[in-house]
Structure 1
Amino acid sequence: MRPAPATETWTYDDFRGAVLDPARWEVMTVPGADGTHHAYRDRNATVSTGDGHLEVTVHPFTRFHDTDRRQNNAKQMYRSVRRFPVPAGGQLTVEVDMAVRTYGQIPHDLLDAFGTVNVFDLDSGVVFNAAATNDTLYAVVERLPVPGATGPYVHRVVLETPTAPAVPHRYAVTYRADTSEVLFHVDGRVAYWARTPVPVDGFHIGMALFSARDLGRYTRAEREHGQGATGRWGPWRITSTPAPA
């Protein structure tokens, strides 16, 4: 009888270095509507690490645009250099602590100022985000309009977990290859689950601060009113579970 495949768990980054490790993280860049690449980097960002966490403050946000959300929504975002494969028929779990404090955020507005834990695949356009403001935690399941994708969408689901400014929570996002399902755990409890429209064979992970109110619904003054945020993340742990033998 063959032994059962072994589950592997390891720390991707415990943020013990004096600077963010460029072999593990890079600032996210995307092509804009104007054809040039844009970095998700706010000129007002302050960044610190080395104590077991990455901490980023942008106060106030300065990265705004009136027509292209790719140049507006993400103020500061880091993505993993490494892409983590999902075992065929198995599952992949990413875990990290995140604490978010927002400044000048409109109360109970999910998109005015928030921080995120990101699990995403740009090939399929599938995105899973755990998000937090001063007063609300929520899950995001999205499909981006990437080439070949049909039916882009975004679902935001408010979670029942109470929170407050700068309160840390433990987030775990698990993708199951056998069912194409994602499970969100917060502080050790299942908070939400959903089924994805297409199978995904690997993900990048990320950390970000956002302000993403609708460009067509709100004026620049309503979107840029001096708000900002601090996010604190770490450590990141990855668990890869093969399919049963």
Structure 2
Amino acid sequence: MVVIRHSKASTGAPMSVTSEMDTWIYDDFTGGELDPARWEIVEVMGADGRLHAYRDRNARQRTGDGHFELTVDPFSRFHDSDPKQNNAKQMYRSTRRFAVPAGGELKLEVAMAVRTRGQIPYDLLDAFGTMNVFDPETGVVFNLAATDDTVFAVLERLHIPGVTRPEERFVHRVVLETPTEPGREHRYGIVYHAGGSEASWYVDGRRAYWATIPVPLTGLHAGMGLFSARDLTRYSRAEREHGQGATGRWSSWRITASGPANGG
């Protein structure tokens, strides 16, 4: 049995799974502005010990037609030594943490289209958009990302003081065999399988990548954003900040929680 419901009236405690599989729409983007009860700008502690918001002064957004569209053109948020003050230009996270059913699965899905301007061709990190699934309690991040010419999967564990040790940090980026072009929409999905502590990345209904996760996860946030994250130690400011920008467009987010009978 599949139950589909909207979560517009419920942004507090996690929904209970009322059947073997429970599916609902977290946000259908039909309101006149991005709902602050559902989405917030990500803030992180920088190397200077201060909180920094992933917000670019050139950001423009539009919603209300079943999509959320974000444009930052050109990117203006750059830093020469701290990636946290450089990489994310504008990023939102769900205010809600979606619980992973014990022994089951949690799936997050969204359609996304990305169009960049001035991006270095086939450079994954010069300008790109993301659908993010992540857990601040463990530092684990699952992304599906796109440029004008490439779709790629990301598995990362962040170094978060008090949460993870520096030696636990890692990042894997895997280029996927997904033809794309500027503004082309793809359906993306991330599934976390609690029973085997495994994650799967889906593009247009096909499993494109999978990996075993080093720590168990009990909940995940959704996110969406625009980035430019070339290595600060390898590239000068002029090579990283050359007038590039991007537009991302996301459809309604669908969440599916499955118990062990269907997901284990």
TM-score normalised by length of structure 1: 0.97
- Name the counterpart of 1:223: 240
> Is 1:30 matched up with 2:47?
no
Q: Cα distance, 1:244 vs. partner?
A: 2.3
Q: Cα distance, 1:149 vs. partner?
A: 2.4
Q: Give the alignment of 1:143-154 within 5 angstroms.
A: 143-146=157-160, 147-150=162-165, 151-154=168-171
Same amino acid, percent of matched pairs: 66
Report the Cα distance in structure 1 between the residues aligned to 2:114 and 2:206, rounded to whole angstroms.
20
> Is 1:188 matched up with 2:205?
yes
C-alpha distance after superposition, 1:38-91 (max 9, x if no partner): 110100011000000000001100000001100000000000000001001000
Displaced runs of 4+ in structure 1, greater than 6 A?
Answer: none
Kept in 2: contact 1:92–1:240 (CA 8 A)? yes
Kept in 2: contact 1:98–1:232 (CA 8 A)? yes
Q: Cα distance, 1:36 vs. partner?
A: 1.2
Q: Structure 2: 5+ residue runs without aligned partners? A: 1-17
- Name the counterpart of 2:8: none
TM-score normalised by length of structure 2: 0.90
Q: Structure 1: 5+ residue runs without aligned partners? A: none
Kept in 1: contact 2:79–2:86 (CA 8 A)? yes
- Name the counterpart of 2:60: 46
RMSD, aligned α-carbons: 1.2
Report the Cα distance in structure 2 between the residues aligned to 1:188 and 1:209, rounded to whole angstroms.
23
Kept in 2: contact 1:83–1:203 (CA 8 A)? yes
Q: What secondary structure is seen at the aligned counterpart in 2 of 1:107?
A: coil
- Name the counterpart of 1:198: 215
C-alpha distance after superposition, 1:106-165 (max 9, x if no partner): 000000000000000011010000000000000000000123425210000000010000
Aligned length: 242
Kept in 1: contact 2:155–2:171 (CA 8 A)? yes
Q: What secondary structure is seen at the aligned counterpart in 2 of 1:119?
A: strand
Q: Kindly provide the amino acid, as one letter, of the partner of residue 124 in structure 2.
A: L
